[in-house]
Amino acid sequence: MWNDVLDYNRFYRSRLGRAVRDLVQAEIRNHWPDIRGCTLVGMGYATPYMKQFEGEAERLIAVMPAHQGVTHWPRGKPNRVALADETSLPFDDMSVDRLLLVHSMENSEYLRAMMRECWRVLSGHGRLLVVVPSRRGIWARFEKTPFGHGKPYSRAQMERLLGDCLFEPLSITRGLYMPPMDFGPTLRSREALERIGRRWFPRLGGALFVEAHKQVYAATPARRVAFRPRLVQVPSFKPSLAGRSATAREETGSGALTPGTGLARHRNA
């Protein structure tokens, strides 16, 4: 079930939301250190994390699902957000180089159809990056943040789901070790808490960052197959002797009609 776009907007304008944006944004940059000349599309509510790529990516486009609603982005500039059905993206096949899913997969009502669309629009050398709540993390247990809504995932579940949708995971990392508290000292020490969490509690991160690429299967045989013609015997249908004699009598007998005979008899009658 999709959340309302106003709820996302309100959260990311709060102090806690800005701290979350800084931490998640840094982890996204670790996965994609250089995207110069790429077309980047963000799905769900990815706009808080796309601003860092402005001036670097060739194109920046955000897609928000129709059930969620849409808001203008970036502020004070021409709009780069499209409102679309999650199962029908307004892009050509293999036209996207980087696809970022944030607050998307865990809320989708048609998950496999949406992932199939992601597979369609992603280029052969493109990359998919999914940010989802971690099942083991504490953030999935607090509904006051967007990471507490929808379905959280474990590492094994993400690997299996992406494999079923024709994606191959390349790397899976965890982040967001800071507790979901709008408390000044906690927010100011968020980077130190991230380092401590990665060092001592690596499995308790609040979010999973899964990077994957699309699988393209080539239907080529493993060995050369020689062509062998097959002879198929076609049965012949021969009329029986009785049937042939009866046909001959009809054609040559006394009752046979010759051209013009039937017409003459009809006139005499």
How far from the centroid of its chain's Cα atoms is residue 126's Cα? 13
Dihedral of alpha carbons 189, 191, 194, 200, sign: negative
Provide the pLDDT for residue 19. 96
Query: Distance (Å, rounded) from C-alpha 8 to C-alpha 97?
Result: 26
Contact between 156 and 216 under an 8 Å Cβ cutoff? The reply is no
On the question of pLDDT at 174 being above 50, the answer is yes
Using an 8 Å Cβ cutoff, are 176 and 208 in contact?
Answer: no
Which pLDDT tens digit goes with each residue over 40-98?
A: 999 999 999 999 999 899 999 999 998 898 889 998 899 999 999 999 999 999 999 99
Residue 68 identity (one-letter amino acid) = Q
pLDDT on residue 233: 56
User: For residue 240, what are its two tokens?
Assistant: 């029986």
**3 state DSSP class of 126:** strand
Residues 6+ apart with CB under 8 A from 39: 57, 58, 59, 61, 95, 96, 97, 98
- Percentage of residues in the chain having pLDDT higher than 90: 72
What's the CATH number for 5-214? 3.40.50.150
40 vs 253 pLDDT, higher one: 40
Q: Angle at Cα 106 formed by Cα 40 and Cα 77, nearest 5°?
A: 35
Task: Tell me the HSE value of 46 on the side-chain side, using a 13 A CA sphere.
Answer: 29
